Amino acid sequence: MSKPKIVIASGDPNGIGPEIAIKILNAKGLAAQYDIKVIIPSSVIEHYCHSLNLPVPDKKKIIDIPDLKIRVKEGRIDKKAGQVAAESIRIGVELCLRRNFDALVTLPISKKSFNLAGFDFPGHTEYLKALTGCERTIMIMYSKQLVITPVTIHIPLRKVTSELEKSVLKSNLLLLHKTLLNNFKVKSPKIAVLAINPHAGDGGLHGSEEKTKLEPVIKELRSEGIDVKGPFPADGFFGNVTYKDFDAVAGAYHDQALIPFKILSEGHGVNYTAGLPIIRTSPTHGTAFDIAGKNMAKIESTIEAIKLAAKLISK
C-alpha cells in the first residue's frame, strides 16, 4: 500500500511553525510511514536551519512559495508573515482539492498578522470554510481522553447566548453525529451537551437558556433517534469524569470546551475541521512567539495531527 500523502501548511514564519516543520521532515520514523511535504518559503527553512543548527531537510519535501520573499522576524507580528501563512494554507487546500494530497495539516497562524495581511477571518476554520465554499463546518478537538466541539468558537463571551440559537446548536450536533458515524466509524454515537449557565441554570435562577435553547434541541434530536443527553453542568460533568460515558461532547463556547480538553490531552490533542471536502487537522497550540527561534518547540501535537489525518484517510 502507498503511504498517506500529507501536506503541511507552514503557519506563521515568525512563530514555531517552521521549527516544527523542519523537525517533522527530519524525523525518520515519520518518513517511513507517511509521504509528507511542507509548503514554506525556502528562505524561511534556510533561516531556521542556520539559526537553530538543524539539519536541512530534503528539498524534494519542500513546496516553495517563491513569490513571497520574507525576512524572518522571530516572535513578531508582521503583515508579510500573515501573507505567507495565508498563502501556504491556500496552496494546501488547492492541492488537496485536486487530490494531489490526501490530507492537510496546518501549523499555527497569528490572527493579528493574518488580519494585517488583509485576511479578515477570526481563525483557520473560517478561512478554510471560505476557501472550500463550505456551508457549515465545526471544530472538533480530538484526543484519546476526550472528543469535544465548541458550538460557538471565536466570539466574545458576551455574544455567546445570542449566537447560540437553536438552529445553530441543532446543525452542529447533526454534523458532529454524522462525523462520528462516517469519519470516526462510531456505530452508535453518544453525545453530551454542556449547559451555558452555572448549575444548568438552576431552574431558571441563573439563566433560562437551558430551558429555551438547549433542552428543546436535545429533545428534538432524541425523537429523531440520535443519542444526545444534557444539558450537563460543566463543572460536575468533568469533575465526576462523566465525559468518559460519551463518544463526544458539545460545549457552548470556546473556553468551556478547550480548557478541559487541553488539560486532559496533555499536549497530544488535535484540532479536526469537520464538514470540509478535504481532511484537515492541526496541533492545538498557537504560534508561541515567546519561544520562536529558541529550539524549544515540541512536535508531539503535530505528530498526533499527522496520525489522525492518516487514520481518517484510511477510513
The answer to whether residues 3 and 68 belong to one domain is: yes
The answer to whether residues 296 and 177 belong to one domain is: no
In which domain, by residue range, is 216 found?
A: 136-268
Instruction: Give the whole-angstrom CA distance, residue 6 versus residue 29.
Output: 15
The answer to whether residues 31 and 113 belong to one domain is: yes
The answer to whether residues 177 and 209 belong to one domain is: yes
**Total-model pTM:** 0.93
**Parallel, antiparallel, or unpaired: how do β-strands 248-251 and 190-194 relate?**
parallel
Q: Would you state the cell numbers that stand for residue 127, as one nine-digit string? A: 478561512
The answer to whether residues 140 and 261 belong to one domain is: yes
The answer to whether residues 35 and 103 belong to one domain is: yes
Question: 128: domain CATH number?
Answer: 3.40.718.10
- Cβ atoms of residues 267 and 300 within 8 Å: yes
* Separation of first and last alpha carbons in the chain: 14
The answer to whether residues 4 and 46 belong to one domain is: yes
| Domain count along the chain | 2
The answer to whether residues 157 and 286 belong to one domain is: no
Q: Would you state the cell numbers that stand for residue 280, as one nine-digit string? A: 484537515
- Burial of 261 by CB count in 10 Å (0-12 exposed, 13-18 middle, 19+ buried)? buried
The answer to whether residues 179 and 51 belong to one domain is: no
Give pLDDT tens digits along the chain (315 positions).
Answer: 689 999 999 999 999 999 999 999 999 899 999 999 999 999 999 999 999 999 999 999 999 998 777 899 999 999 999 999 999 999 999 999 999 999 999 999 999 999 999 998 888 888 999 999 998 999 999 999 999 999 998 889 899 988 999 999 999 999 999 999 999 999 999 999 999 999 987 777 777 889 999 999 999 999 999 999 999 999 999 999 999 999 999 999 999 999 999 999 998 999 999 999 999 999 999 999 999 999 999 999 999 999 999 999 987
The answer to whether residues 79 and 127 belong to one domain is: yes
The answer to whether residues 128 and 231 belong to one domain is: no
The answer to whether residues 215 and 312 belong to one domain is: no
